[in-house]
Amino acid sequence: MAETNEILQRLIDEVADVRSVFIASTDGFLIDGVTTNNNIDLEALAADVIPKIDEQADLDELFSLGRWDISMIEFENGILLSAYLEEDAILIISARGRRNIGNLRRRAKLLIDELRAAL
């Protein structure tokens, strides 16, 4: 079984424009991550991003749609994809540009099961 770091690195290597990919606990602590930019502080990102993702997951209570699974936010210059991995782990992927949206989502879905098995 591949280690989580190897799986995350493979996503960066194989999907154009992915800048960072990390797994964080639901309380905002970095579990594992890789980035193409050494200036990106993944621990700080995890601490800042996870509370916002947690609020998004609470939308189920308003709409009764079931447990949150995957979400994608498109920005002017990029994409943020988040996915529920397990009770205490969330996957976050950031990518520049918007030309690979379909490929990014497809690859993320393929890797989620592999990441779940590795955690």
| CATH code, domain carrying 20 | 3.30.450.30
Residue 72 has pLDDT above 50, yes or no: yes
Residue ranges in the chain assigned as alpha helix (H): 4-14, 42-57, 59-63, 101-118
Q: How far apart are the first and last CA of the chain?
A: 10
Structural domain total, the chain: 1
Q: In the prediction, which pLDDT does 1 show?
A: 45
Averaged over 67-80, what is the pLDDT?
89
List pLDDT tens digits, range 19-65.
999 999 999 999 999 999 889 999 999 999 999 888 887 777 788 88
Percentage of residues of the chain with pLDDT beyond 70: 98
For residue 48, give its domain range: 4-118
How far apart are alpha carbons 25 and 32 in whole angstroms? 10
Question: Residues 23, 31: contact at Cβ < 8 Å?
Answer: yes
List Cβ<8 Å contacts ≥24 apart for 35-44.
36/12
Output 103 or 90, whichever has higher pLDDT.
90
**Alpha carbon distance 76, 9 (integer Å):** 25
Q: Is the pLDDT of residue 102 over 90?
A: no
